[in-house]
Chains A and B, each alone.
Chain A
Amino acid sequence: MQTPKLLAWIAGEGSIPILPRLLGILSRITMLLLPIIAAAMIYEVIKRYVFAGPTIWVNEFSVWLAAVVYLVAGLYATQQRAHIRITTLVDYLPMKARMICELFSLLILAAYVLAIVVGGLDGAMEALFNWESLGTAFNPPVPATIKPLILIVSVLVLLQSVLNFVETYTHRRHDSADEGH
């Protein structure tokens, strides 16, 4: 009974453009990992205490999913403009100066993402092509997946920030044009 509701929730509603819609779907699927992680850990505690047999997979599995959550959540926070920043001063600036600050912010982010990608590309490729795993009993391919994902998500965060900037810019130009009438 809950399933259609869940699917409808994941798909999102209303007429949203394709890119935000895809990001919304990706985010909502990733969010579902949170209760899955919690459930896996509760299962582990019950196994350990009630059945005296801890699992070999819960801790590594949880950490693996959690890393995906942290990364995709950063992308979602970018789209929601929820990243922690000090806006108290910027909010008092005139619109033009504010846009310069936004642009400046974008350049700083671009430099950071460039540094992540340039510095991390070799390591990520190596981990991916050797299908690096943790080398434990359960042995999930955590480095092989998470290392490349860090680079991919970083680039997407930058792209989303560019989209945010364009959106703010066109929105404000539209606003000021309205005021002119």
Chain B
Amino acid sequence: MSSEIIVLAFALLVVLLIAGVPLGFSTGAIGAALLWINFGPAGLSLIAQRIYDLAVTFSLLAVPLFIFMSMLLERSAIAHRMYDALNMLLCRIRGGVAVTTAGMAVIMAAMSGIIGGEIVLLGLVALPQMLRLGYDKHLTIGTICACGSLGTMIPPSVVLIMYGLITQTSINDMFVAAVVPGLLLGAVFIGYIIIRVNLNPSLAPVVERPAPKADAQDGHPLIEMALTLAPFVLGGLAGMIGAQTGATGTTPITIGIGTCAALQLIAILVTQRRQDLVIAHGLVPPLLIVTVVMGSIYGGITGITEAAAMGVGITLLIIAIRGEFRFDLFAGAMEGTFRSTGAIMWVVFGATVLAGAFSLSGGNRYIASLLAELNLSPSGTILIMLVIFFILGMFMDWIGIILLTMPIFMPIVRSYGFDPVWFGVLFSMSMQVAFLSPPFGSAAFFLKSVAPPDIDLPTIYRSFGPFILLQIAVLMLVFFVPDIALFLVR
């Protein structure tokens, strides 16, 4: 096909998007037009076929299930209690509340796979607290949004799932590879906060430990931490004993994780009666959720989709044990999940139509030849792609970017011999930048929706500067040292 039609199709797509046509409908319609022009009416049969094939993909089911789990978490008090617990542990160091917020965001990110809910939650819990204690406004906002965006970087992550599906990369490998870069980002943020507040103490006043309630039998922090961490040690021991007594395959891991989860469940039942043990009461439930979901995935016990279902189950169980279960909480979570699922899936449908039409029309070859003419080195090409991600990220949603660019970029990435898993990690890190970058960085809008009125969008975006630089620095590190992502996969 002629290159003019491809250029025209993309120009038209941009026009449609700016005119406010929903993403899913504009990509689908352009895809249909490409099929019609190239193959006549017969080509249109591809549309329903591709939608059907995608709709019955088992891995795709992980997306609504992880969203459901996040929606349940957001509506429960699990996150609030975790914040209290971390605060109790960390409040006496300088910048402790900021570190608490960042730490909570990282743990939340290991339970949640979407962006939005986490930032809203931190905006409701941490923002008023930090402003009241006299923390610097910009540091507070930057911490909340940068750390709150990690949900789509640290597994489970809907971004990683969609990337794996669209580029036919193993989602399991993506989940393994993204852990270290994701945690590294979190660690760099926390390190930055600690250095900043020590260089300039006026940014973060030291606060006293909140006084224990009058009737509380105050638990000693060390004992509480022991109670929190004991299940991991005992679970590990149980697993080792299992391996010693001749269990094979994943059985020792299953025994270990099962023991750990069971002990954590007992700890939750105990702390439900002893709510004065603030640290254990707050930390064990999120750790149980992480144990079940991540343990199932990394221990090879279940696939990602089943792990997501287990996550839904364990979250509901904790909510029920803690006496928070109400029908409207459950119905609200279902409703929210349903609405997001509808919005995301129809974008995915439209994009699979466009991607199919595009590659059938020879668009991939055209873009590849275009890039070849630029005569760039392989690494230079990857850098150009990252720059394109940044630019698109200012204006578009991550899902639109995956669907528009990956069908074009992936063949090139593979032909240069780069690992698609590594490229996927780079992609999801560049989306971290995209969430923060003006004018449409979505993190800012999520925070704005719950922030006090005197915090306006320009203030929010100004706060992001240092954090964006940190994100780009870590991204470059993974770019130059791919093993940071890949050493666990091999």
Contact assessment for B346 and A38 in the assembled complex, using a CB-CB cutoff below 8 Å: no
Q: Which of B61, B306, B308 contacts A63 (CB 8 A)?
A: B61
Contact assessment for B45 and A123 in the assembled complex, using a CB-CB cutoff below 8 Å: yes
State whether A90 and B339 are in contact (beta carbons under 8 Å apart), knowing that A34-B68, A83-B24 are contacts in the complex.
Answer: no
Report the minimum CB–CB distance from A73 to chain B (whole Å).
Answer: 3
Q: Which of B48, B254, B395 contacts A150 (CB 8 A)?
A: B48
Residues of A within 8 A of B344 (CB): 84
B24-47 toward A: CB 8 Å interface, digit per residue (1/0)?
Answer: 111011001101100001011111
Contact assessment for B338 and A31 in the assembled complex, using a CB-CB cutoff below 8 Å: yes
Q: Give the size category of B's interface with A.
A: 35 or more
State whether A83 and B48 are in contact (beta carbons under 8 Å apart), knowing that A32-B334, A67-B56, A112-B32 are contacts in the complex.
Answer: no
State whether A116 and B68 are in contact (beta carbons under 8 Å apart), knowing that A87-B20, A108-B25 are contacts in the complex.
Answer: no
* Segment of B135-143, B264-272, B276-284, B396-404 in the binding face: B396-404
Report the minimum CB–CB distance from A27 to chain B (whole Å).
Answer: 7
Residues of A within 8 A of B49 (CB): 120, 123
User: Which label, helix, strand, loop or mixed, suits the secondary structure of the A interface?
Assistant: helix
Residues of A within 8 A of B254 (CB): 49
Q: Does A77 contact B (CB under 8 A)?
A: yes
Contact assessment for A111 and B29 in the assembled complex, using a CB-CB cutoff below 8 Å: yes
Contact assessment for A112 and B29 in the assembled complex, using a CB-CB cutoff below 8 Å: yes
Lowest 5 CB-CB distances: which A-B pairs, in order?
A: A120-B48, A119-B44, A73-B342, A77-B342, A41-B309
- Assembled-state Cα–Cα distance A85/B279 (Å): 43
Contact assessment for B20 and A105 in the assembled complex, using a CB-CB cutoff below 8 Å: yes
Report the minimum CB–CB distance from A97 to chain B (whole Å).
Answer: 10
Residues of B within 8 A of A18 (CB): none
- 436-487 of chain B: CB within 8 A of chain A: 439-440
Query: Which among B21, B32, B302 has the greatest number of chain A C-beta atoms within 10 A?
Result: B21
Contact assessment for B52 and A150 in the assembled complex, using a CB-CB cutoff below 8 Å: yes
Residues of B within 8 A of A41 (CB): 65, 305-306, 309-310
**Can you sample 26 A-B contacts with CB below 8 Å?**
A28-B335, A30-B338, A31-B337, A34-B65, A34-B337, A41-B310, A45-B296, A62-B58, A63-B58, A67-B56, A69-B64, A70-B60, A73-B339, A74-B342, A83-B342, A83-B347, A84-B23, A85-B22, A102-B20, A109-B22, A111-B32, A112-B25, A116-B28, A120-B47, A150-B48, A151-B48
- 68-114 of chain A: CB within 8 A of chain B: 69-78, 80, 82-90, 101-102, 104-105, 108-109, 111-112
State whether A116 and B51 are in contact (beta carbons under 8 Å apart), knowing that A73-B341, A77-B339, A146-B56 are contacts in the complex.
Answer: yes
Residues of A within 8 A of B51 (CB): 116, 150
Residues of A within 8 A of B339 (CB): 73, 76-77, 80, 82
Q: Does A35 contact B (CB under 8 A)?
A: yes
Residues of A within 8 A of B36 (CB): 115
Q: Measuring CB to CB, which residues of chain A are less than 8 angstroms from any residue of chain B?
A: 2, 5-6, 9, 27-28, 30-32, 34-35, 37-42, 44-45, 49, 59, 62-64, 66-67, 69-78, 80, 82-90, 101-102, 104-105, 108-109, 111-112, 115-116, 118-120, 122-124, 142-143, 146-147, 150-151
- Assembled-state Cα–Cα distance A45/B297 (Å): 13
Known interface pairs A84-B347, A112-B29; 18 further A-B residue pairs with C-beta atoms within 8 A, sorted by A's residue number? A38-B65, A38-B309, A66-B55, A67-B56, A73-B341, A73-B345, A75-B342, A83-B24, A83-B347, A84-B22, A84-B397, A105-B25, A109-B29, A112-B350, A116-B47, A119-B45, A147-B48, A150-B55
